[in-house]
Structure 1
């Protein structure tokens, strides 16, 4: 983006994350621009909004307060993508990706700019690409093929809406392969995951033209580790059958690119007990150490939800397998861990760099800061709204059946966490029988239950819980 577009982007993002009316001076201070510059860019932003959606506008009142007015069918991502795609840098990168041997003359004609301007833009783009350890050289992207695939996947995924990707991509070439992967992983990919895979295989097929230029930076230790991984072996066999139609022989490399992609996008989470790769096991260990620093609750860390486990594994896989990152992964004005607990962030970053032996790039650092802040925020929300119920009744077959009944009836509620009580954990409500010594447990209130699996029992427990806590 140009500097003017960057200011407009900051203004738009600020409106999205703050109150409806914003004072002009406050806005100038927050995004660090002068008032004349801000006023000029507000006019330009409104023109762009109306060009994208005629009913979208910026309203100004008598006090110089501005409000962003968007119609109900306005797509924020669509507008930002539309905005981004107008940029010359975006168009140049897309052109280089799509055409293997494009000439400078053709670029000059297509984009209506001088040769000197093209090379100036290449120089500016290369400054951004440095973080990804790739560069534009002789009108081509040069670098490790794994990095090139990673960059272009996120470049196109973040710069287009799902609807525009559906119009541009042809899933027929990869649909059968995706179904095979679903059968292999014994799961159905979500709509988002499906189109991510379609885009990934589209990039893979286009990069076949560069096969003689592929640079492989995988160490022998790395290759040996993966070749001993059962899932990787099976993935390589699947790709070998698929790629045979293209007379393509680099099955090992393509299998590694795909395997790392699946891990980093959270589409595949290996079972720790079945994993023999020291590298993948290190990621599991890193997840636990980071979660312990952020959450500070050993019990909850030991029982992280599958979604939280997948979130952390995907996050740290990207750090291990790739350089660079995209700021679009997290909103500009979201809560950062560095804002509320900077000492926790420092501790987490030390763990990541030591455990994973990686020096983090600037964007990776920012994304981890945002991701860890997001995790802490979700944990705090869960603590604030979740009511923990402990069941402290004598173990028996009947007691187990009663606990199953309670978990079925109450455990489906997002605000209630019910488990067999342990002495180390505090509970808002402790369910006991006449044989329980309540002094052995930590509780705010307790209730002597009938152990009968009835509607009356559930209503009685809910009443006891509501009386013990403010709503």
Structure 2
């Protein structure tokens, strides 16, 4: 679920306008853009004017120009979509209500109307819309309070505040104290992004400890799946000692909630996790699934192909996917998951697609997931497998021989490189005699190699030649990597 759902309809459409322009290289016709976002061309002009008014103060330069039936977007490097989205969210009534609910144990509709200077009808409508979105997380706002499983509530606000990047700091003394307590167990230091995530989780936790929600249904359902784990038992002790310095009562589930967070969101890092994995209780469901899934993937690629470091990284990535599927429900992102999956789909072979389906079925079965996580699993398995697939691809060597063009050949070589350099895992160089090349680009037919694998340029830098060369290189890559 995109965080855009917490924007008002008009503001959501404005973000959609920016996204459409970004995905079309900053330029679209007014007619096409208006159709994509469901507006008339006249209304589009008004929306664009509002966007400029909101976004210009965010950085050095932001412009959307409407000229000759075209819309063009340009902005300086100190602005990005996340920064724009945050500006819109801060002005969104839904987001402000979520923040108010987070900070108050109990409230009335009258309080909300006074706080946000809105009518009861508006507040009721916003609460209805918010609850519709929170359903995906299994939580909601009812009878003047936030209700639902405590682990899910913390998870939702962790995702929300991490996206908007506000309210917490990785330099917080509370974070430093906790890292000091955890450090004896983990020899490798936590990364900057891990400390940021840790800080955000603690920020949410400290606020939630003040409102004492007793609904821990989810933990009751899953705790037996990891309570025999050595790391879990250590964290129970650490969290009890850590929180007793700041609160009067530390619930028995605090350690379990922190454990779920710690092993899910890339906090430990590969090296720390590898050490933990050596002592991890192998009979807990996620550990068994991690091992089984890794073996399925290793067998798919062949045991000789993945290095020890590849397998270590694979185990770490799978552990986070499986932990999130088991412990948490719902997703909140700033990107479009469907668009990401469409991009991955272009790189998926039928064999990888079949493997992903097997992995999804195995995960649902072994973890006995109560809610389907198919989309989440498919996206993450695709990400892992495509990365492995591309990293194992052999590079294609391409020699460029323009020697018969004399002085022109030198500059045209670099022009040709600029047209082809975006192709991954392809090494281009000037042709060297007696060097083997998968493909040779040349302007004159003459015997260079025993293997006649040439492409003869028809017209230098013609779009036809560039398309044909790219097609030929892709065919060679496929043949070379699928023997």
**Could you state the TM-score of these two structures normalised by the residue count of structure 2?**
0.70
Partner of 1:198: 199
1-structure distance, mates of 2:147, 2:394: 51
Decide whether the 8 Å contact of 2:16 with 2:37 is kept in 1: yes
SS in 2 for 1:58: strand
Partner of 2:110: 105
SS in 1 for 2:190: coil
Greater shift, 273-282 or 227-236, is seen at: 273-282
Greater shift, 273-282 or 324-333, is seen at: 324-333
SS in 2 for 1:184: coil
Higher relative contact order (CA 8 A, sep 6+): 2
Aligned-pair CA distance for 1:144: 0.9
Decide whether the 8 Å contact of 1:292 with 1:298 is kept in 2: yes
Change in CA separation of 1:182 and 1:17 when aligned onto 2, cut-off 3 Å: farther
SS in 1 for 2:185: helix
Output one character per residue of 1:231-251: Cα deviation in whole Å (capped at 9) or x when no partner.
Answer: 111111111211222455545
Aligned-pair CA distance for 1:369: 3.8
Decide whether the 8 Å contact of 2:149 with 2:215 is kept in 1: yes
Aligned-pair CA distance for 1:125: 0.8
Q: Output aligned runs, 1:407-446, within 5 Å.
A: none
Partner of 2:18: 12
1-structure distance, mates of 2:395, 2:182: 37
Q: Output aligned runs, 1:188-227, within 5 Å.
A: 188-211=189-212, 213-219=214-220, 222-227=222-227
Partner of 1:355: 366
2-structure distance, mates of 1:212, 1:132: 16
1-structure distance, mates of 2:292, 2:85: 35
Aligned-pair CA distance for 1:11: 2.3
Tell me, yes or no, if structure 1 residue 228 matches structure 2 residue 228: yes
Change in CA separation of 1:354 and 1:37 when aligned onto 2, cut-off 3 Å: farther
Change in CA separation of 1:333 and 1:250 when aligned onto 2, cut-off 3 Å: same
Partner of 2:285: 279
2-structure distance, mates of 1:308, 1:34: 49
Tell me, yes or no, if structure 1 residue 94 matches structure 2 residue 71: no
Tell me, yes or no, if structure 1 residue 288 matches structure 2 residue 297: no
2-structure distance, mates of 1:386, 1:23: 39
2-structure distance, mates of 1:138, 1:95: 15
Q: Output aligned runs, 1:368-407, within 5 Å.
A: 368-384=377-393, 386=395
Decide whether the 8 Å contact of 2:168 with 2:199 is kept in 1: no
1-structure distance, mates of 2:129, 2:22: 29
2-structure distance, mates of 1:387, 1:274: 42
Q: Output aligned runs, 1:11-410, within 5 Å.
A: 11-28=17-34, 30-31=36-37, 35-53=41-59, 55-62=61-68, 64-160=69-165, 164-165=166-167, 171-211=172-212, 213-219=214-220, 222-250=222-250, 252-268=252-268, 269=273, 271-276=276-281, 277-285=283-291, 287-288=293-294, 291=297, 296=301, 299-300=304-305, 303=308, 304=310, 306-328=312-334, 333-336=339-342, 337-338=344-345, 341=348, 343-344=353-354, 346-360=357-371, 365-384=374-393, 386=395
Change in CA separation of 1:10 and 1:257 when aligned onto 2, cut-off 3 Å: same
Decide whether the 8 Å contact of 1:272 with 1:284 is kept in 2: no
Change in CA separation of 1:286 and 1:146 when aligned onto 2, cut-off 3 Å: farther
2-structure distance, mates of 1:367, 1:6: 24
Aligned-pair CA distance for 1:332: 6.4
Decide whether the 8 Å contact of 1:147 with 1:322 is kept in 2: yes
2-structure distance, mates of 1:156, 1:287: 32
Decide whether the 8 Å contact of 2:139 with 2:147 is kept in 1: yes
2-structure distance, mates of 1:306, 1:32: 47
Decide whether the 8 Å contact of 1:287 with 1:313 is kept in 2: no
Output one character per residue of 1:178-211: Cα deviation in whole Å (capped at 9) or x when no partner.
Answer: 2222332222111121121112112111111232
Output one character per residue of 1:324-365: Cα deviation in whole Å (capped at 9) or x when no partner.
Answer: 11132666643534565485454443333223222555xx54
Change in CA separation of 1:376 and 1:35 when aligned onto 2, cut-off 3 Å: farther
Partner of 1:395: none
Aligned-pair CA distance for 1:386: 4.8
What are the ranges of 5 or more consecutive residues in structure 1 without an aligned counterpart?
389-413, 417-427, 430-443, 445-467
Aligned-pair CA distance for 1:259: 0.5
Change in CA separation of 1:118 and 1:291 when aligned onto 2, cut-off 3 Å: farther
Greater shift, 148-157 or 38-47, is seen at: 38-47
Partner of 1:448: none
Q: Considering only aligned residues, what root-mean-square deviation do their CA atoms show, in Å?
A: 3.6
Aligned-pair CA distance for 1:376: 4.2
Change in CA separation of 1:116 and 1:28 when aligned onto 2, cut-off 3 Å: closer
